[in-house]
Amino acid sequence: MTTMIAGHRVIGVAGFKNAGKTTLVERLVGELTRRGYRVSTIKHAHHSFDIDHEGRDSFRHRKAGAGEVVVVSRHRWAQIHELGEEAEPSLDEMLARMAPCDLVIVEGYKRDSHDKVEVRNVALDHPELAGDDPTVVAIAASGAVSDAPVLVFSRDDVAALADFVIAHARLGGKS
């Protein structure tokens, strides 16, 4: 069953620190876009982050008190929204702001209700998500996983994982 949120097909990539989530997302995005799919991503950060840097005009606007700053060029645009005392927006709220695409890959948000691929580094002693979390539909692991309750892929076999994601998300064929 495909997870649809705010009109988007969504698949998550979840796991614990140093499991290889970001590398897998990067490689999966590359594989899917190479196959002709339009892919977007959302990354949840558990810490403060800044895409703006001291000395930049947009940084100066924000530090002066602007609640939102939009930077636009011929190649891309970015919107920075200061939350202040507002609650962190939900995944659903952020997805509703995104432009149409074939698939959104969500990194993080491991406790949300969308379908996910668990990323495991078997050399690390992290808790397992699959089995306890019914939204985990596959595992991408750095080594063998015994008695897995879902399909297991090598973390390095991005082509096979992309085939699974395409089928699971019902993306249809591309060239």
Give me the percent of the chain exceeding a pLDDT of 90.
65
Higher pLDDT, 136 or 55: 136
Annotate 130-144 with DSSP letters as a single string: BTTBTTEEEEEESS-
DSSP-derived letter for residue 111 is T
pLDDT tens for 11-39 read 999 999 999 999 999 999 999 999 999 99
pLDDT tens digit sequence for 147-162:
999 999 999 999 999 9
Please tell me the pTM assigned to this model.
0.90
